[in-house]
């Protein structure tokens, strides 16, 4: 735990959002500490190390324990990137640092959850590279990518801050769960809109909505425009 805190503090914490990212990198580990007293002590140490407030760190740890994005618990000014882009960037970084984690990502499900975009293109390439086994050949991956996705890959390659494998694994799982929940909300919203159509088969729509609620996961299907 001390190593994780030191690593977070060694990175860039000069801006509010950088502090939030540093706290979020350690929060999943802190959330697993069973002792409330010990967890509180480490929260204070992390807050001091990254020059944040202990209450914000504790809120981030509680969020991580619930499976939410710990970064959202640390108050910061509005960021340029939306939550989807931030989450996909973290997913890409985790797969870049630890290619074997690509086995935790179902390619078909990912195609249903992520719309075509440069980050999605990069993530698909990293998943495929991880499935091939061995180390990550950055140049081979770069050769498969378009200009924007290639630039994103280069930015990961020059990042000197190492990502702990346990944190990366938690990031992969949490990001997939966030994408699933977002897709589920969208599907339920679409079904609700169908119910407002006088010509809709209300019984069939309600049955489908109940199925989604009971399964608590979205139906796997390709996004508009086809798979990435």
Q: What is the pLDDT of residues 145-154, one digit of tens each?
A: 999 899 989 8
Q: Look at residues 65, 61, 71 and name the one whose alpha carbon lies nearest to residue 21.
A: 71
**Alpha-carbon gap, residue 200 to 202, rounded angstroms:** 6
Q: How many CA atoms lie within 13 A of 8 on its CB side?
A: 30
Are both 194 and 217 inside the same structural domain? yes
Q: Among 42, 73, 104, give the residue marking a domain's end.
A: 73
Of 54, 73, 92, the one marking the end of a domain is 73
* In a shared domain, residues 120 and 181: yes
> Are both 128 and 226 inside the same structural domain?
yes
For residues 221 and 128, state if they share a domain. yes
8 Å CB contact between 130 and 103: yes
Phi-psi sector, 30: left (phi>0), alpha (psi -120 to 50), beta: alpha
Task: Work out the average pLDDT over 178-206.
Answer: 77
93 and 161 in a single domain? The answer is yes
Residues whose CB is less than 8 angstroms from the CB of residue 125 and which lie 6 or more positions away in sequence, other chains included = 141, 144, 145, 149, 153
Task: Tell me: do 60 and 86 sit in the same domain.
Answer: no
By mean pLDDT, which of 23-27, 132-136, 205-209, 218-222 is the weakest? 218-222
Q: What is the mean pLDDT of residues 93-109?
A: 90
Average pLDDT over residues 64-75: 79
CA angle 60, 170, 211 (to 5 degrees): 95
CATH number at residue 118: 1.10.860.10
Same domain membership, residue 161 and residue 50: no
Same domain for 110 and 187, yes or no, is yes
Closest CA to 109 of 96, 127, 95: 127
In terms of residue numbers, what domain contains 40? 2-73
Give the count of domains, the chain: 2
Taken in order 55, 73, 70, 97, the sign of the CA dihedral is negative
**Closest-CA residue to 145 (of 127, 122, 111, 115):** 122
**Last residue in a domain, options 16, 48, 73:** 73
Sign of CA dihedral 192, 193, 196, 199: negative
- Which is higher by pLDDT, 226 or 211? 211
Same domain, 144 and 51: no
Shared domain check, 214 and 116: yes
pLDDT digits (tens, 9 = 90+) for 32-54: 999 999 999 999 999 999 888 88
User: Residue 209's pLDDT band (boundaries 50, 70, 90)?
Assistant: low
How many other β-carbons are positioned within 10 Å of the β-carbon of residue 166?
13
- 28 and 95 belong to one structural domain: no
210 and 110 fall within a common domain: yes
What's this model's pTM, rounded to 2 decimal places? 0.54
Report the alpha-carbon distance of residue 121 to residue 116 in Å, rounded.
Answer: 7
């Amino acid at each position: 735990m001390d190593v994780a805190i030191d690593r977070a503090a060694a990175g860039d914490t000069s801006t509010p959002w950088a502090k939030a990212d540093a706290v979020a990198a350690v929060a999943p580990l802190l959330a697993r500490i069973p002792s409330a007293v010990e967890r509180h002590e480490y929260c204070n140490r992390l807050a001091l190390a990254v020059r944040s407030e202990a209450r914000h760190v504790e809120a981030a740890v509680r969020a991580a324990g619930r499976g939410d994005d710990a970064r959202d618990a640390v108050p910061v000014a509005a960021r340029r990137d939306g939550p989807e882009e931030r989450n996909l960037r973290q997913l890409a970084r985790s797969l870049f640092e630890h290619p074997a984690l690509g086995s935790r990502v179902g390619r078909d499900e990912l195609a249903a959850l992520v719309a075509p975009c440069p980050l999605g293109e990069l993530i698909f390439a990293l998943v495929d590279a991880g499935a091939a086994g061995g180390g990550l050949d950055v140049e081979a991956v770069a050769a498969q990518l378009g200009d924007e996705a290639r630039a994103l890959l280069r930015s990961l390659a020059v990042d000197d801050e190492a990502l702990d494998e346990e944190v990366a694994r938690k990031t992969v799982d949490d990001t997939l769960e966030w994408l699933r929940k977002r897709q589920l909300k969208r599907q339920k919203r679409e079904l609700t809109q169908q119910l407002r159509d006088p010509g809709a088969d209300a019984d069939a729509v309600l049955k489908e909505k109940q199925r989604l609620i009971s399964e608590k996961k979205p139906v796997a299907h390709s996004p508009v425009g086809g798979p990435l």
